[in-house]
Amino acid sequence: SAVISQKPSRDICQRGTSLTIQCQVDSQVTMMFWYRQQPGQSLTLIATANQGSEATYESGFVIDKFPISRPNLTFSTLTVSNMSPEDSSIYLCSAIGLAGVYEQYFGPGTRLTVT
Amino acid sequence: RKEVEQDPGPFNVPEGATVAFNCTYSNSASQSFFWYRQDCRKEPKLLMSVYSSGNEDGRFTAQLNRASQYISLLIRDSKLSDSATYLCVVNSNQFYFGTGTSLTVIP
C-alpha cells in the first residue's frame, strides 16, 4: 500500500484568502483524487488529479475555486480559493497504486476552518 | 437514487457479538467493491476488497451479491476496537462512497 502525507494537517483561515494543500505519496501511483468530507458526512469527490494535464472535476466543483496541480506521479496540490465559511471541511487526497488493483489509500486529511 | 446506500445505524452491540452491515448499489455495471473503516477524526482505511466469490480476513467476511446488487460485511466476535464507521465503496468508473454505518461495541 502507498503511504500518503498531507500538509498542512489543519489550518484556520480568514474568508477571502486561499489555502494550498499538498499531498505526497511515497511511491508512484496511477491515479490521485481529492475529496471533501463534512463532519458526520461521507466523502464527496472533488476531482481527479491528472498528471501533466488539467484535473477532471465533478459536478459542483470548478477549477477557479479548486485549482489542482499534479506535476508528477507522486505529488499533487489542491488550492481552496477565495474561501468562505462554507469551505470549512476536511480535505483528503487519495491514490491508487500501480498494482492494477483499484484500492484507494488516503492521506490523513487537512482540517480547514474558515472564519 | 443514490449510487450507494447504507444503513447509517448506529449499531450498538456487546463484545463478542456478530454484526452484519449491508450496502446496496444502483449501477449493475459496477466493477469493484470495498469496505473501509473510518475512526473518528481519521482518514478512511481500507479494510478489505470484496470479491465475487466472497472473502474472509480473520473475523471479517465480505460478500458480494451481483444479482441483488448488494455487498455485506460480517464481523464475528466483536471487539471494542472494532468501534468505528464502516464505509462501503463501489467503483463504476468513479468511486462512490456510502454514508457509513456507525458501530459501537459495548463492554
Tell me the three-class secondary structure of chain B, residue by residue: CCCEEECCCCEEEECCCCEEEEEEECCCCCCEEEEEEECCCCCCEEEEEECCCCEEECCEEEEEECCCCEEEEEECCCCHHHCEEEEEEEECCCEEECCCEEEEEEC
Residue A109 at interface with chain B, using a CB cutoff of 8 Å: yes
**What are the backbone dihedrals phi and psi of residue B81, each rounded to the nearest 5 degrees, phi first?**
-70, -10
Residue B27 C-alpha cell reads as: 449501477
Q: A41-98 pLDDT, tens per residue?
A: 889 999 999 998 899 999 999 999 999 999 999 999 999 999 999 999 999 999 987 6
Q: What is the DSSP letter of A100?
A: S
Calpha distance B98→B86 (Å, rounded): 9
In the numeric block, the cell 465533478 is attached to A58
Calpha distance B49→B73 (Å, rounded): 11
Residues of A within 8 A of B89 (CB-CB) are: 104
Which residue of A35, A37, A43 is the best one to mutate when testing the B interface, meaning the one whose CB has the most B CBs within 10 A?
A43
Q: What is the pLDDT of residue A99?
A: 63
Q: Under an 8 A CB cutoff, do B43 and A33 touch?
A: no
Does residue A100 register a pLDDT over 80? no
Q: What is the pLDDT of residue A1?
A: 67
* Residues of chain B with confidence (pLDDT) below 50: none
Q: Environment class of residue B68 by beta-carbon count within 10 Å: exposed (0-12), middle (13-18) or buried (19+)?
A: exposed
Q: B15-25 pLDDT, tens per residue?
A: 999 999 999 99
Measure the CA angle with vertex A20, ends A71 and B90; round to 5°: 70
Q: A6-52 pLDDT, tens per residue?
A: 999 999 999 999 999 999 999 888 889 999 999 888 899 999 999 98
pLDDT band for position A101 (cuts 50, 70, 90): low
